[in-house]
């Protein structure tokens, strides 16, 4: 049992969180992320991606449920979690009037011996921030502030990295540099990245695990390979109102939309051809398979969950 | 080493990588003793998860295409055997499909394609000499 927990970077059990009473952001949320993966947390704007990361970082207290990060309880061991997890929030949390140098002077001691000064220098250099450190952080561009935030998150060589919409509103050059730093970070074995994003084409080449968040909870959590290899996402068209298929354990979702039926089902036991046959037996006039890009699969799943 | 990945494809990235390295070896662009980029280098170049590269290298090793030498790197180990006729044809398949598809879409008939192909081959051979 201990072995299992050690191999998980993050484990979330039955998490419930609400900002307003009776309006859950996360409800019955379960998730297990193995160590060594780059996990994409995908969902539409406002689906609770940031809230989830904030719960994992011990910034928000859920109504109930448990967040284990590197085997530690996010609420009870917040300090230790934060010393081992690098977190790049969607909005950098710097004091705008302080200069970059002052921010770093303030942050370094919090990590004690873990802080790698050489790495900090390299990162600042790489991002072209070295000469900007005397300026108040509020005067830096949005991209520069996010890069400074990434420097802080990486310089203490964390075991786990949380990135909240890392590339949103950054230009292509900065986006690429950001990605390269994440790849470089992952070159050390045993490290893990959780990457919340709605820019799916950006993360497709990077992630090996995917959690798709629907309404308040994951619609699906799987290795990307399984998502592409063993999940059939089909759109069946009928002459009249679309019928539903009999529910089965491998059926992930099905949704009627007039004459169209959208469905997603695991094909580990059966095959896509079996599903198509079942749909045709129900009177489908044509069945289209969603193209296997992560973006198309995501849209199909999330629309089907609406 | 020219690697082109299609992250939107159904094939996992690691198996695209395996397939392309194998193709480069089969086609003679990589030969016995050539050193492959380190996991970190290739991951950075392709902007993919280093674990994906490591997995691909592991599979290439299992397939007997590369060998990992501790502290030195990953080397191509495939013997330079002559390709069988089937392997030769296999190598041609993808570019051939692409050519035919382009021709169909453009409305070029097969005889014309064959004629153009022959002419082009003669041109290339002429410039090589």
**ipTM of the shown complex:** 0.85
- Bridge partners (DSSP) of residue A253 are A264
- The residue assigned the tokens 């995501």 is A298
With a cut of 90, say whether residue B15 has pLDDT above it: yes
Å between A224 CA and nearest CA of chain B: 8
Mean pLDDT value of segment A49-72: 95
What are the CA-CA distances from residue A263 to residues A235, B6, B68, B89 (Å)? 6, 25, 45, 39
Residue A168 DSSP symbol:
T
> pLDDT digits over A4-30, tens only?
445 899 999 999 999 999 899 999 999
How many Cα atoms are found within 13 Å in the side-chain-facing hemisphere of B111? 0
**Cβ–Cβ gap B7/A37 under 8 Å:** no
Phi/psi for A228 (5° steps) reads: -85, -30
Provide the H-helix boundaries in A127-282: 142-155, 172-186, 200-203, 224-229, 272-281
Mean pLDDT value of segment A165-180: 86
Chain A residues in contact with chain B using a Cβ-Cβ cutoff of 8 Å: 36-38, 176, 179-180, 183-184, 186-187, 201, 204-208, 224-225, 228-229, 291-295
**Cβ–Cβ gap A204/B8 under 8 Å:** yes
Mean pLDDT value of segment A134-139: 95
Q: What is the model's pLDDT at position B82? A: 59
Q: In whole angstroms, give the CA distance from residue A178 to residue A116.
A: 19
> pLDDT digits over B86-129, tens only?
777 877 888 889 899 999 999 999 999 999 999 998 888 887 65
Å between A298 CA and nearest CA of chain B: 12
Residues of B in contact with A295 (CB under 8 A): 8
**Cβ–Cβ gap A292/B9 under 8 Å:** yes
Q: What is the model's pLDDT at position A173? A: 87
Residue A267 DSSP symbol:
-
What are the CA-CA distances from residue B46 to residues A49, A198, A200, A295, B11 (Å)? 27, 22, 17, 20, 16
Query: A85: which 2 tokens?
Result: 């997890």
Residue in B39, B44, B48 closest to A205 by CB: B48
Question: Structural domains in chain B?
Answer: 13-76 (1.10.10.10), 85-128 (no CATH)
| Spatial contact of A182 and A193, defined as CB atoms under 8 Å apart | yes
Å between B44 CA and nearest CA of chain A: 6
With a cut of 70, say whether residue A306 has pLDDT above it: no
| Spatial contact of A285 and A239, defined as CB atoms under 8 Å apart | yes
| Spatial contact of A83 and A114, defined as CB atoms under 8 Å apart | yes
Percentage of residues of chain A with pLDDT beyond 70: 98
**Cβ–Cβ gap B10/A292 under 8 Å:** yes
| Spatial contact of A118 and A160, defined as CB atoms under 8 Å apart | no
Residue partners of A265: CB distance under 8 A and separation at least 6: A231, A232, A234, A248, A250, A251, A252, A275
Q: In whole angstroms, give the CA distance from residue A210 to residue A33.
A: 9
Q: Where are the beta strands (DSSP E) in A78-156?
A: 85-88
- The mean pLDDT of chain A is 91
Å between B129 CA and nearest CA of chain A: 43
Percentage of residues of chain B with pLDDT beyond 70: 93
CA B95-B98-B104 angle, 5° bins: 140
Pairing of strands A251-257, A8-20: unpaired
Mean pLDDT value of segment A64-76: 95
Nearest CA in chain B to A204: B7
- The crossing angle, in degrees rounded to 10, of helices B39-46 and A172-186 is 160
Mean pLDDT value of segment A171-193: 91
């Amino acid at each position: 049992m201990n072995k299992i927990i050690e191999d998980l970077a993050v484990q979330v059990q039955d998490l419930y969180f609400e900002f307003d009473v009776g309006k859950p952001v996360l409800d019955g949320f379960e998730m297990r992320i193995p160590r060594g993966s780059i996990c994409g947390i995908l969902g539409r704007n406002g689906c609770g991606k940031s809230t989830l990361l904030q719960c994992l970082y011990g910034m928000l207290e859920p109504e109930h449920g448990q967040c284990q990060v590197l085997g530690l309880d996010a609420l009870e061991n917040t300090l230790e979690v934060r010393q081992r997890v690098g977190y790049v929030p969607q909005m950098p949390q710097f004091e705008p009037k302080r200069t970059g140098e002052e921010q770093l002077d303030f942050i370094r001691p919090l990590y004690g011996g873990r802080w790698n000064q050489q790495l900090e220098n390299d990162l600042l250099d790489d991002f072209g921030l070295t000469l900007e450190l005397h300026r108040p952080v509020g005067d830096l561009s949005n991209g520069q502030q996010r890069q400074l935030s990434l420097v802080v998150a990486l310089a203490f060589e964390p075991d786990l990295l949380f990135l909240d919409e890392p590339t949103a509103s950054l230009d292509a050059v900065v986006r690429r540099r950001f990605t390269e730093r994440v790849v470089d970070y992952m070159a050390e074995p045993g490290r893990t990245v959780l990457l919340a994003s709605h820019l799916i084409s950006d993360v497709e080449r990077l992630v090996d695990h995917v959690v798709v968040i629907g309404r308040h909870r994951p619609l699906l959590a799987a290795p990307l390979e399984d998502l592409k290899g063993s999940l059939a996402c089909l759109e069946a068209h009928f002459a009249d109102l679309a019928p539903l298929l009999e529910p089965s354990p491998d059926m992930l979702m099905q949704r009627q939309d007039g004459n169209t039926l959208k469905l997603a089902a695991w094909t580990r036991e059966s095959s896509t051809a079996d599903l198509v046959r079942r749909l045709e037996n129900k009177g489908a006039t044509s069945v289209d398979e969603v193209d296997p890009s992560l973006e198309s699969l995501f849209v199909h799943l999330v629309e089907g969950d609406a | 080493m020219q690697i082109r990945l299609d992250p939107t494809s159904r094939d996992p990235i690691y198996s695209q990588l395996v397939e392309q390295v194998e193709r480069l070896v089969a086609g003679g662009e990589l030969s016995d003793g050539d050193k492959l980029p380190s996991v970190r280098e290739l991951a950075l170049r392709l902007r993919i998860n280093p674990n994906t590269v490591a997995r691909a290298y592991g599979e290439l090793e299992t397939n007997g295409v590369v060998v990992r030498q501790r502290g030195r790197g990953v080397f191509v180990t495939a013997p330079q055997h002559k390709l069988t006729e089937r392997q030769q044809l296999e190598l041609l398949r993808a570019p051939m499909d692409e050519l035919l598809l382009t021709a169909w879409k453009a409305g070029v008939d097969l005889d014309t394609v064959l004629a153009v192909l022959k002419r082009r081959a003669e041109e290339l051979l002429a410039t090589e000499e």
